[in-house]
Structures are given as structure tokens and as C-alpha cells.
């Protein structure tokens, strides 16, 4: 485990509370526990920010999707997680949070900290997303610097984040797209990956100003993960500009 002073240093650096750092630290231990396991792809905002966008925002949850024909599945993953953190967190327990369609949710709790784990059943469209083994940052001094896990490629992350933002327009998805724009990941290759994933590229009007999250919602959803979320309108403008170039859309002020 790490000292309180290290947690406080992280909290000051990120502009968040110590409690959020405690959750992020637990997630780091859970990710280390995933290392010896197989049969899944680590995806979502936590995967993206710890692999390709390190130092953008702290982690909130863990998302995995299962690969076909992998044997043990859910039970093997849950047992492996508890076994992996058992020494540092002997009181950890997992509660079944229920299932919606093919998404199973679990809540892992220990020492007053709770982390949500979502495991998605194997889907046909996931086979269209390229993946790769990639080092995932663990961030804290009581752990290795990183752990290699199977992740979507950077282009696949752009495709998934575009699809997610167009579907639900959440601040977190736009924030991550803005960070992907900063590292110049919104490219023609990423657009082609989105087309292969769902059959169509970015939907232009979904990036109109009318789709911008309200500043109050933006702050509410992101403030506990980063002290520097930026302004949603500026982030949307950058993402829209990058997509305009990648998709070769005509330059227009009004995308409707």
C-alpha cells in the first residue's frame, strides 16, 4: 500500500479529493490483477486514459468485453480479481449489480471504496475492432509502472468514442474525444475503423453546437476526476474541426 502523503500529492496534482485517489489506486491494483488473465479486452475511458491519454483524468470504473470461445468467462475474471488483490485488500468483496441485456455489472467494495466493473458479452461488432497488447499505467509507487493488457487500438478507441458520443452525448465521452484530438488521433484511419465497426462514419450533425453538454453537467461529471476539464464548447469545436479534416467534410459554420 502507499502512504497517505503520496495520496495527498496525487490529489493536489490532479485537483481532486483524496477519496477519488483511493478509488483510482484500488483500480490500479485491480488492473494489475487482470494481467495474468485472458479472454477479454479492456476498453472504455479508464483503458483509454491509462494507455493513450495518461494524465488526463482519474479512473472511475473498469470496462471489459469478452472474447469468443474463451472458457471460464465471468467467474474466472471475478475470481482472478479477488485473488489478485487479496493480500492488499483481504476484505474485498464483489456484489452482483445485475444485468441489462448483455452487460453484467458488479460492484467491488473494500475499505469504504467501491469500484464498478462492467463486463460485456461477446458481440459480433467487436470482432471488427483491431486490438493490441499495450502497456497500461498503474501510477502508484507500490505497483509496477505498467501492466500489458489487450486493448482496442488507438483508432478503435476513436471509433468507439465517436459512436458513444453520438449515441448519448455525455461529457465524459466528449472530454475523451477532446483528449484524442490533442494527441492527433482523430485521423482518416480512425474514421475508416468507425465505418468498419458500425457501417457508417461520423454523423455530422451530432457534433453541432446544439449537442454540446451544459457547463453545469460538464463540471458535475468531470470535476471529481480532473481539476482541469476545460470548456465543453471549446472541446466540441476542436473535435468537430478534427473530424471535418479527417472526413473531408466541407468547411461550414452550421453542420445541420
Domain annotation covers residue 254: no
* Same domain (yes/no): 147, 161: no
Q: How confident is the model at residue 55 (pLDDT cuts 50, 70, 90)?
A: confident
What Cα–Cα distance (Å) separates residue 92 from each residue in 7, 87, 105, 131, 175?
20, 10, 16, 31, 31
Domain annotation covers residue 193: yes
pLDDT at 16 over 60: yes
- For 226-249, what is the mean pLDDT? 96
CATH of residue 98: 3.30.460
* Same domain (yes/no): 22, 130: yes
Output the CA torsion 32→35→38→42 (10° steps): 60
* Same domain (yes/no): 38, 67: yes
Q: Name the nearest CA neighbour of 175 among 52, 41, 49, 42.
A: 49
Q: Name the nearest CA neighbour of 63 among 44, 86, 84.
A: 44
| Gap between the Cα atoms of 227 and 16, Å rounded | 6
pLDDT at 255 over 50: no
> pTM (2 decimals)?
0.92
* Same domain (yes/no): 148, 168: no
pLDDT at 71 over 70: no
pLDDT at 256 over 50: no
Count how many domains the chain has: 2
Provide the residue range defining the domain that includes 178.
155-247
What Cα–Cα distance (Å) separates residue 46 from each residue in 158, 172, 248?
14, 11, 30
pLDDT at 38 over 80: yes
Cα maximum dimension of the chain: 58
pLDDT per position as a tens digit, 113-171: 999 999 999 888 899 999 999 999 999 999 999 999 999 999 999 999 999 999 999 99
Q: What are phi and psi of 163, to 5 degrees?
A: -60, -40
| Gap between the Cα atoms of 186 and 159, Å rounded | 9
| Gap between the Cα atoms of 129 and 125, Å rounded | 7
* Same domain (yes/no): 52, 139: yes
| Gap between the Cα atoms of 46 and 245, Å rounded | 27
Locus of grid cell 458513444: 164
Contact (CB, 8 A) for 214 and 175? no
Contact (CB, 8 A) for 143 and 192? no
Contact (CB, 8 A) for 107 and 119? no
Amino acid at each position: 500500500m502507499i502512504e497517505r502523503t503520496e495520496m495527498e500529492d496525487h490529489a493536489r496534482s490532479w485537483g481532486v479529493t483524496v477519496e477519488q485517489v483511493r478509488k483510482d489506486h484500488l483500480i490500479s491494483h485491480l488492473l494489475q490483477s487482470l494481467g495474468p488473465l485472458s479472454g477479454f479486452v479492456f476498453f472504455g475511458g479508464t483503458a483509454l486514459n491509462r494507455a493513450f491519454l495518461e494524465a488526463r483524468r482519474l479512473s472511475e470504473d473498469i470496462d471489459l468485453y469478452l472474447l469468443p470461445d474463451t472458457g471460464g468467462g465471468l467467474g474466472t475474471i471475478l475470481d482472478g480479481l479477488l485473488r489478485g488483490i487479496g493480500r492488499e485488500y483481504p476484505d474485498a468483496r464483489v456484489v452482483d449489480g445485475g444485468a441489462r441485456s448483455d452487460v453484467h455489472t458488479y460492484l467491488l467494495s473494500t475499505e469504504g471504496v467501491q469500484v464498478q466493473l462492467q463486463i460485456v458479452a461477446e458481440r459480433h461488432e467487436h470482432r471488427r475492432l483491431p486490438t493490441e497488447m499495450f502497456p497500461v499505467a498503474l501510477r502508484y509507487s507500490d505497483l509496477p509502472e505498467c501492466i500489458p493488457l489487450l486493448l482496442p487500438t488507438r483508432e478503435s478507441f476513436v471509433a468507439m468514442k465517436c459512436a458513444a458520443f453520438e449515441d448519448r452525448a455525455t461529457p465524459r465521452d466528449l472530454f475523451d474525444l477532446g483528449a484524442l484530438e490533442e494527441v492527433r488521433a482523430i485521423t482518416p484511419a480512425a474514421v475508416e475503423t468507425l465505418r468498419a465497426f458500425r457501417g457508417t462514419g461520423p454523423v455530422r450533425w451530432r457534433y453541432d453546437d446544439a449537442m454540446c453538454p451544459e457547463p453545469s453537467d460538464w463540471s458535475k461529471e468531470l470535476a471529481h476526476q480532473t481539476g482541469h476539464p476545460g470548456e465543453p464548447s471549446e472541446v466540441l469545436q476542436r473535435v468537430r474541426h478534427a473530424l471535418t479534416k479527417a472526413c473531408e467534410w466541407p468547411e461550414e459554420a452550421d453542420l445541420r
